[in-house]
Every structure is written in C-alpha cells, then in structure tokens.
Amino acid sequence: MTCLYAYTSRGTALVKSFIGSLNARIDTKVIQTPISRHVFEYTGQGNLLLYVKGRAEQPLRWGVTANVIKRIQSQGKTWLVILLFESYDSGYFLTQNEVESYIRNVWPLAKDGDYKPAVGSYLSGKQPFHSIQEFVDAVGIKTV
C-alpha cells in the first residue's frame, strides 16, 4: 500500500526550504497562517503576509487562488506573492498592488478558481531574484 502523504511535490519542497531559510535569519520568524497552507506571516522588524507558491516543473505556471487572495486582502496587512522556481532561492515577488493590477488586467482566472501567472507576458517587467539576500534586500525586510 502506498502512503499518499509521504509524497512531497518539488514545488512544496521549494516553499519549505524558502521559509526555512528566512527562519534561519537572526530576528526573523515566519509561521504558517490559518488562511492557507501557502500563506505565512513574517515577523521581525516588520510584519507582512507572504503567499508563497513553488513550481519546479515546466511549464513555469503557478496557481494563485482567488479565494486566498481575498482572505489575505481582508487581513489589513501588507502582503506579497512569491512565485518560486528551480530552487528555493529563485523566484519572483509581487507586491499587493502589482498582484491586484495583474488580476484586473493580465492574469486569466481558470475554472478551478486559480489565476494562472506564468513567465513572459503574465509577469511583464518583473525580474526574478536569485538569492535569499537579494529577496530580502528587494522587499526591504530589515534584519540584524
């Protein structure tokens, strides 16, 4: 008998490693929230929500769930969407204003209730980060 719960997707492994690397930093705590298994609260010298999705397989297309975005928006906190690819320290981050603009103007909403951002025109103008330090510096997370 195969245990279905023993399998972890490579995308999920990227997310776990990303969160672990943030938690390894001094004066930083990142914990999962009840909003979704993909939404984490960052606390340190600042407080924000991180909606983190990982994709290790081609094509690089993520599922950003519309209902999760609505729940995040209702929290009244600053939030980011992070789309990881290839390794835990490579990805795109999008501010809440960028996500809301992409939702209105660019990202298609699939029948499953997910927006489907992908590399190329769906992330126009975005440059990926390639290290945890580059991510931290880019989003302005202050650490000691």
Q: From first to last of its 144 residues, what are the pLDDT tens digits of the chain?
A: 444 444 458 899 999 999 999 999 877 899 999 999 999 999 876 789 999 999 988 888 899 999 999 999 999 999 999 999 989 999 999 999 999 999 999 998 999 999 999 888 888 888 999 999 999 888 877 554
Instruction: Give the residue extent of every domain in the chain.
Output: 4-139
Q: Given this model, what pLDDT does residue 93 score?
A: 93
Q: Given this model, what pLDDT does residue 92 score?
A: 94
Angstrom distance (rounded) from CA 78 to CA 48: 5
Angstrom distance (rounded) from CA 59 to CA 80: 22
Of 122, 38, 125, 141, the residue nearest 82 (C-alpha): 38
Angstrom distance (rounded) from CA 36 to CA 120: 27
Q: Given this model, what pLDDT does residue 62 score?
A: 92
Q: Which residue has the tokens 């930093």?
A: 25
Q: Given this model, what pLDDT does residue 45 score?
A: 65
**Which class is 4-139 in CATH?**
alpha beta
